[in-house]
Amino acid sequence: MGGSGTIFADRVDAGRRLARELTYLRGQDVVVLGLPRGGVPVAAEVASALRAPLDVGVVRKLGLPMQPELAMGAIAEDGARVINQQVMNTARVSDDQLAEVERNERAELARRARQYRGGRPPVSVSGRTVVIVDDGIATAATARAACRAARTRGASRVILAVPVAPDDWRERVGGDADACVCPKTVSDFMAVGQFYRDFAPTTNEQVVAFLARGSSREVTVQAGPVRLAGELTVPEGASAMVVFAHGGGSGRHSPRNRFVADALNTAGLGTLLFDLLTDEEEGDRSKVFDVPLLADRLAAATRWLDSSLPLGYFGASTGAAAALWAAADGDPRVGAVVSRGGRPDLAGDRLPEVQAPTLLIVGENDPEVLTMNREAQRTLQAPTRLSTVQGATHLFEEPGALSQVAELARDWFIDRLRTSPSAR
């Protein structure tokens, strides 16, 4: 499928072109892992386009004892490895020799993982779609090891994505990936570098820098005695931050809230999605409706964020009640609140104390919640608007309904946070 020759200007160009092949994943619960070192600049572009967390998938080649440049396999974190038995047999490598090479490389792998992440723990991939990215594929040994490591760590789906590869690359990968994505395959593949105008080596320092400035990163919010997992996204030049309060026991992986957060990020607003409840608490239905508890957690996350940017709250279901309850505390940085299919009635007598302009979004065909929100609109003393999404039910699952929610929230936050006291 085509001959050799320059295809990409550099790894950034390759990453942007690869990202276009992966846009169908946007809004899903995705983690992007770049293979060091050259795969990380490519992965950074993919992660930015998908608004997904970026991490490194640390892998090491297992070189022959007498010819280290020739791979007899590869290893990755969590004990994953791929061995080329044919190469081992041809070179007559013993099991003891293999064990010694692997022992040395695992020590180096652990050292580099600490260096790249700066002491941060790996991004959790459990139950998530993992996109493993490199700048190209030759033997596929390191990519296969990375895929196996992601699977060992609990990934629900593994996608291997590279800008360029040989025609037979899917056969080389085998069943280690659930899907393979490559915009350009070639028949006369000799080396990855032949397809780049600029293929300068990526340094360890550059890898660290890419990971540090990833558009999204996983964080831990300390809320009193509990630690809550979150995901922080701060687009370059962000004008404001929006903290999400999830409802109904859902957390930071809520696909509806992630869809809205993606629209806000695209508009230049930062977002913090975090779990209001711990894994142990999620099974306790009384805590799902404990609005004072949820509001305290939201206030703790707001303090943890410690941002000089104006802030907004986006709440859904019981999370909307928590957002209104927390907004009633009078934090001057909170300049706007948006409720999606919310239960403002659960905020009770705190509603008149809310000072932030509030947008209530309800589906037209969600009569019970619509009635609750109309009553809340009469009770709220802050500037308030009630917007109904035509034809939508409580979960906004109808075609285009959630897009309308995202647009309404985006415009409300941009208009109100731009003129909020902390923005002046």
Averaged pLDDT, 11-36 = 93
Averaged pLDDT, 327-341 = 93
Rounded Cα distance, 23 and 153, in Å: 25
pLDDT of residue 138: 82
Rounded Cα distance, 149 and 145, in Å: 6
pLDDT of residue 363: 97
| pLDDT value at 19 more than 70 | yes
pLDDT of residue 24: 93
In the 8-state DSSP scheme, what is residue 346? G
> Minimal CA–CA distance to 48: which of 235, 177, 289, 231?
235
Residue 350 makes CB contacts below 8 A (sequence gap 6+) with 324, 325, 328
- And the tokens for 22? 């992966």
- And the tokens for 58? 């640390």
pLDDT of residue 48: 82
pLDDT of residue 306: 80
| pLDDT value at 235 more than 70 | yes
In the 8-state DSSP scheme, what is residue 139? S
Averaged pLDDT, 219-231 = 90
pLDDT of residue 1: 45
Range with the poorest average pLDDT among 192-201, 262-271, 375-384: 262-271
CA of 243: how far to CAs of 65, 255, 306, 323, in Å?
A: 53, 16, 12, 9
Q: How confident is the model at residue 213 (pLDDT cuts 50, 70, 90)?
A: low
Chain segment 343-380, per-residue pLDDT in tens = 999 999 999 999 999 999 999 999 999 999 999 999 99
Residue 69 makes CB contacts below 8 A (sequence gap 6+) with 63
- The chain-wide mean pLDDT, for the chain, equals 90
User: What pairing do the DSSP bridges indicate for beta strands 311-316 and 334-340?
Assistant: parallel
pTM for this model (two decimals): 0.62
Averaged pLDDT, 196-204 = 93
| pLDDT value at 215 more than 80 | no
